[in-house]
Structure 1
Amino acid sequence: MGVYTGSGAVGGCVVVCASSVGAMITSVALTVVASVVSLTPGPLEWGGGPLTVAALPRVPYVAHRGGAREVPENSMSGLMAAYRRGTAQVLDFDTRVLRDGTPVVFHDATLNRTTFLGGEVSGLDAAEWRGVRLRPRDRLPGSWRSERPPTVAEVLDRFGGRIVLMLEAKDPRGLERLAALIRARGLTRSVFVNTNDPAVARRVHGLGLLTQLWRSARQMRTDRPAAWRSYVDLLDVDVKARDADLRRAVRSGIPRVWAHTVVTPRQRDRALALGCDGIITDAPGRLARHR
């Protein structure tokens, strides 16, 4: 009997089987192939599938708007800098909706504060958006060039599955479009969708997305957060709230309670001492160096 050698590449691995060795080796090789395939459900560059919230450390740090005291807020270069530095495990950004329904990365309802233009964000379409340029603040460390603010699709394509993302839906009209973008990329367990409105949070939950609800110190005085635990995955609480209000949030039964917007080690340490288990900060690089 002659010897037949067959080879095949699966997930970067090569399997070689010789029929003369016997059925047992063939069976073992097939088992190896099956296990390799099962470990690579997503694109190979993601290392076997998208990174999800299950991979977060016990106390994650969030780069708020990319880390707005360290980089130009809500910019692709700022998000990339925060990602490369590795001082945050979550990248946060804001979203608005253009006139034609395109979701874009932007905080304010108007262009005036952070770009060279003025007027309503919702008054532009996708073609006009390509002409918008961010105006980096002078007091930011380092040197930053003006750039176009990205679309949500561009940020999801750049970072989705490589790091956990947090996006605030400033305009609830765009929720279905945001949900479609997240679902199409297999990122429903990798992206928190944030809002200040419990009714919108319930809608986010109904769309099968991870729900984040942020609350101000003033709102927290009368909030009863235990009422939201059936549909809120992450409660985002104001670090300036009273101790009693922070403790009530921590004891609400909501699985994650993270504090915003933390800018000093003292604020961070207080939030953690009161039971918060995540830090949302404009200065992730500085806080990470002073743990």
Structure 2
Amino acid sequence: MVTRITLTVLASAASLVPLTGPAAPLEWGPGPLTVDSLPRVTYVAHRGGAREVPENSMSGLMAAYGRGTAQVLDFDTRMLRDGTLVVMHDPLLNRTTYLGGEVRGLDGREWRGVRLRPKASLPGSWRSERPPTVAEVLDRLGGRVLLMLEAKDPSSLRPLAALLRSRGLTRSVFVNSNDPGLARRAHALGLLTQLWRSAGQLRADRPERWRSYVDVLDVDFRARDQDLRRAVRSGVRWVWAHTVVTPRQRDRVLALGCNGVITDAPGRLARVPVRPAQRGARPWRA
């Protein structure tokens, strides 16, 4: 059941976000952009860059794309009761929209009435807008920038795979989960797989066991140095640290061997050069 939440402040006027994004560099060549284009160090805009844009919104994702401070755009997916795949992190509507209730309680028609509630703390001016469907994000951005989506509902894996295959995006989109079993299933479906692990999980993990079916190991930056080094030595091709928001956090994980960061503030990190690791630096304390 969906319940209304009293509105205290109406969303601000729409920010002007280009709908087409920057022109594709000539070196990309024909066809969709794929993982072969990833740089040595990758920046991922977590939920579009949730400290800089409205999370999991089309305008936020388009702004992140237009700014060019991240090579990968991340968003979360959930499935409605009629099987429609939509972009939303929480199982409930309450935190990020003007409605309350379970996301899975809606169907595609009802989803059109949902409106996001941008945080007042975000820089700039943002409109209230409908959260997009997964198909809409893929059709707008798929192949123009690399994408990373977290499958919040395990049962959505096959429909997600069908969407990616039908658009020729199986080498352009990472499918993320905290479940090694789901990562194995995604790999078997021919998808790029990403497995995230918390600092606590990494203490007991043996990530080398996953290297045959995990493309990205997504590690908690708060993990111990030795756990991050073990992840880097696992044989998994990419090891990216989440969710980084400061240059110091970034510099530490890169010094430990990670080759990417997942960040809520890609613009902030882009403005501060990476500092080289220093001998005798004090160990990280969470």
With the length of structure 1 as denominator, give the TM-score of the two structures.
0.84
Which string of whole-angstrom CA distances, capped at 9 and with x for unpartnered residues, describes residues 136-176 of structure 1? 00000000010000000000000011000000000011110
- Structure-1 separation of matches of 2:51 and 2:161: 29
- For 1:133-212, list aligned pairs within 5 A: 133-212=115-194
Counterpart among 228, 238, 243 of residue 225 in structure 2: 243
1:144 is paired with a residue whose SS is coil
- For 1:273-284, list aligned pairs within 5 A: 273-284=255-266
- For 1:17-28, list aligned pairs within 5 A: none
Which residue in the other structure is 1:30 paired with?
A: none
Higher helix residue share: 1
Q: Counterpart amino acid of 2:56?
A: N
1:58 is paired with a residue whose SS is coil
Which residue in the other structure is 2:15 paired with?
A: none
Q: Counterpart amino acid of 1:285?
A: G
1:225 is the counterpart of 2:207: yes
1:214 is paired with a residue whose SS is strand
1:55 is the counterpart of 2:65: no
Counterpart among 105, 111, 116 of residue 98 in structure 2: 116
Displacement after TM superposition at 1:47 (Å): 4.6
Displacement after TM superposition at 1:60 (Å): 1.0
Displacement after TM superposition at 1:254 (Å): 0.5
- Structure-1 separation of matches of 2:156 and 2:84: 8
1:91 is the counterpart of 2:82: no
- Structure-1 separation of matches of 2:271 and 2:160: 34
Q: Which runs of 5+ in 1 are unaligned?
A: 1-43
1:96 is paired with a residue whose SS is strand
Displacement after TM superposition at 1:221 (Å): 0.6
1:221 is paired with a residue whose SS is helix
- Structure-2 separation of matches of 1:199 and 1:57: 29
Which string of whole-angstrom CA distances, capped at 9 and with x for unpartnered residues, describes residues 77-101 of structure 1? 0000000000000000000000001
- Structure-1 separation of matches of 2:229 and 2:84: 39
- Structure-2 separation of matches of 1:71 and 1:47: 30
Q: Counterpart amino acid of 1:120?
A: E
- Structure-2 separation of matches of 1:47 and 1:128: 40
Which residue in the other structure is 2:21 paired with?
A: none
2:82 is paired with a residue whose SS is coil
Displacement after TM superposition at 1:123 (Å): 0.4
- CA-atom RMSD, angstroms? 1.0
Give me the identity figure in percent. 81
- Structure-2 separation of matches of 1:121 and 1:140: 24
- Structure-2 separation of matches of 1:203 and 1:255: 19
Q: Whose relative contact order is higher, 1 or 2, with alpha carbons under 8 Å and at least 6 apart?
A: 2
1:287 is the counterpart of 2:269: yes
- Structure-2 separation of matches of 1:138 and 1:238: 27
Q: Counterpart amino acid of 1:215?
A: R
- Structure-1 separation of matches of 2:29 and 2:76: 27
- Structure-1 separation of matches of 2:110 and 2:41: 40
1:95 is paired with a residue whose SS is strand
1:62 is paired with a residue whose SS is strand
Q: Counterpart amino acid of 1:141?
A: P
- Structure-2 separation of matches of 1:119 and 1:207: 32
- Structure-2 separation of matches of 1:160 and 1:141: 26
1:131 is the counterpart of 2:113: yes
Q: Counterpart amino acid of 2:189?
A: L
Which residue in the other structure is 1:35 paired with?
A: none
Which residue in the other structure is 1:107 paired with?
A: 89
Which residue in the other structure is 1:64 paired with?
A: 46
Which string of whole-angstrom CA distances, capped at 9 and with x for unpartnered residues, describes residues 257-281 of structure 1? 0000000000000000000000100
Q: Report the count of equivalent residues.
A: 247
Which residue in the other structure is 1:258 paired with?
A: 240
- Structure-2 separation of matches of 1:54 and 1:288: 22
Q: Counterpart amino acid of 2:210?
A: W
Q: Which runs of 5+ in 2 are unaligned?
A: 1-25, 274-286
